[in-house]
Amino acid sequence: MIAEHYVADVLRESNTLNVLQSRAHGLDHWFRVWKNGQWLTTQSEIKDVDMEVVALFALFHDSMRVNEGNDPEHGTRGWLLWKYLYDGSGHTLTDIQDRQLATACEDHSNGLTHSDPTIAICWDADRLDIHRHGIWPDSHLMSTGAGQILALRRTYPGAT
């Protein structure tokens, strides 16, 4: 996957990891977002999800936080880190993928839902990890039916 080419670069450049030294918004969270995205795409209602974009979102969306709380521009900074690191060697992002990743990163913390399946999976995968803060996601802010059901049941992907 394309994201694999950038893991080492993000580990080196991430403000969230290297300056903030965050656990709440760091590697553990990024990994769970990726796993949540994979789980959500196994749900039959959801089609045409671009997992390359979901993986890149998981890696970059919270990579450039400057604090653990109100940081409204952190998604845009994560997107800018992607633009800074992207070299296209051995792979290219299509214009559609580029726009999906931009929207997914820039708007992921703005309390929106989205009808694009790939962006919907990115945002729901992120919100489904909010229980790490001791709260459950608002079902009205989930973009997918599977995400809404999990939020209403107050459970998370893979829970038995």
Q: What residues line the site for Fe ion (CB under 5 A)?
A: 62, 109, 126
CA dihedral 103, 108, 114, 118 (to 10 degrees): 70
Nearer to Fe ion, 18 or 94 (CB): 18
Q: Give yes or no for a contact between 100 and 118, defined as CB atoms under 8 angstroms apart.
A: yes
H-run or E-run covering 103: helix 95-106
> Minimum distance between the CB of residue 92 and Fe ion, rounded to whole angstroms?
26
Nearer to Fe ion, 23 or 91 (CB): 23
Phi, psi of 45 (to 5 degrees): -70, -20
Going by the DSSP 8-state scheme, the letter that residue 136 receives in this structure is: -
> Minimum distance between the CB of residue 89 and Fe ion, rounded to whole angstroms?
27
> Minimum distance between the CB of residue 28 and Fe ion, rounded to whole angstroms?
11
For 118, half-sphere exposure in the C-beta direction (CA atoms, 13 angstrom radius) is 21
Nearer to Fe ion, 62 or 124 (CB): 62
> Minimum distance between the CB of residue 75 and Fe ion, rounded to whole angstroms?
6
Nearer to Fe ion, 36 or 109 (CB): 109
